[in-house]
Amino acid sequence: MSPHDRGCAVVTGGTRGIGAAVAERLRRDGWTVATLGRSTGCDVREPDQVERAFAAIAADHGPVLVLVNNAGVRDDGLAIRMSHEQWRSVLDTNLDGAFHCTKRALDSMLAARWGRIVNVSSVVALRANPGQANYAASKAGLVGFTKVVAREMARRGITCNAVTPGFIETDMTADLGDVSEHVPARRAGRPEEVAACVSFLVSEEAGYVNGTTLTVDGALSA
């Protein structure tokens, strides 16, 4: 029996941009996919809401065996002028949300002795971008979190990896203007290109790929 027949996949922030592309790709790969986000009634910042959402998903579709932590927000500003609220709002969603969802998903993955977690980080975790101290801290934190979970769960058939997209054409990057001149590839990436990488990382063939970061940025961080 393949993993597709034993459980389902969850994509947070899965209603638009990278998350929507990932959800669509995983459905094409044969997964039953549930998306989580504020528009679907689950605020990943709140562990109680995450618990209820995962319980409902398990009741409808079986255990969660794939988790893609994609939910993310930006609230830019120079560090010296950044408010506590700006800092916390980004960390609470981007980093704490991933922790809450991962902790809950690991219960079903441990029971199945199989699981795939992919954390959507960002190129700013590797390459500083002024004005994004909160965003960079949250995305760098995701990379560190990824490595720890990978080491803790490797003997139990569970992998945890990260992808670090660069400038991808989404609503979140629309206000950044044309950035192609800064990218060696001379173009922005497409959400589907990130989704293809996630598809590989959650596959059975990627079972020995664990604790790594797959960069999808047109050589921006090279």
Query: How many domains does the chain divide into?
Result: 1
SS3 call for 162: strand
User: Is the model's pLDDT at 174 over the cut of 80?
Assistant: no
Residue 27 in domain:
yes
Q: Quote the tokens at residue 214.
A: 């797959």
* Minimum mean pLDDT range among 36-50, 64-78, 165-179, 183-197: 165-179
- Once rounded to an integer, what is the mean pLDDT over residues 40-62? 96
Active-site residue, selected from the candidate residues 135, 158, 191, 220 = 135
User: Is the model's pLDDT at 179 over the cut of 80?
Assistant: no
Residue 66 in domain:
yes
Separation CA 157–CA 116 (nearest Å): 9
Q: Which residue would you say has higher pLDDT here, 181 or 188?
A: 188
Residue 222 in domain:
no
**CA-to-CA dists, residue 174 to 19, 167, 170, angstroms:** 16, 10, 6
Read off the pLDDT band of 47 (50, 70, 90): very high
Separation CA 17–CA 15 (nearest Å): 7
Quick check: 93 and 71 in contact, CB under 8 A? yes
Residue 221 in domain:
no
User: Is the model's pLDDT at 177 over the cut of 80?
Assistant: no
Read off the pLDDT band of 193 (50, 70, 90): very high
The pLDDT assigned to 170 comes to: 74
DSSP 52-92: HHHHHHHHHH--EEEEEE-------B-GGG--HHHHHHHHI
% of the chain at pLDDT higher than 90? 87
Q: Around Cβ 5, how many Cβ atoms within 10 Å?
A: 9
Q: Quote the tokens at residue 61.
A: 């579709």
Q: Around Cβ 94, how many Cβ atoms within 10 Å?
A: 29
Residue 190 in domain:
yes
Quick check: 142 and 90 in contact, CB under 8 A? no
The pLDDT assigned to 178 comes to: 67
- Once rounded to an integer, what is the mean pLDDT over residues 214-221? 95
Separation CA 145–CA 169 (nearest Å): 26
Find the CATH number of the domain harbouring 18.
3.40.50.720
Separation CA 23–CA 13 (nearest Å): 10
Residue 44 in domain:
yes
The pLDDT assigned to 125 comes to: 96
Burial class (CB in 10 A: 0-12, 13-18, 19+), 147: middle
When the pLDDT of each residue in the chain is averaged and rounded to a whole number, the result is: 95
The pLDDT assigned to 39 comes to: 83
- Once rounded to an integer, what is the mean pLDDT over residues 30-39? 94
The pTM (predicted TM-score) of the whole model is 0.95
In the annotation, is 135 catalytic?
yes
Residue 120 in domain:
yes
Rg, the chain, Cα only: 17
Range(s) of the domain holding residue 10 = 3-216
User: Is the model's pLDDT at 76 over the cut of 90?
Assistant: yes
User: Is the model's pLDDT at 176 over the cut of 80?
Assistant: no
The pLDDT assigned to 40 comes to: 84
- Tens of pLDDT, residue by residue over 107-162, are 999 999 999 999 999 999 999 889 999 999 999 999 999 999 999 999 999 999 99
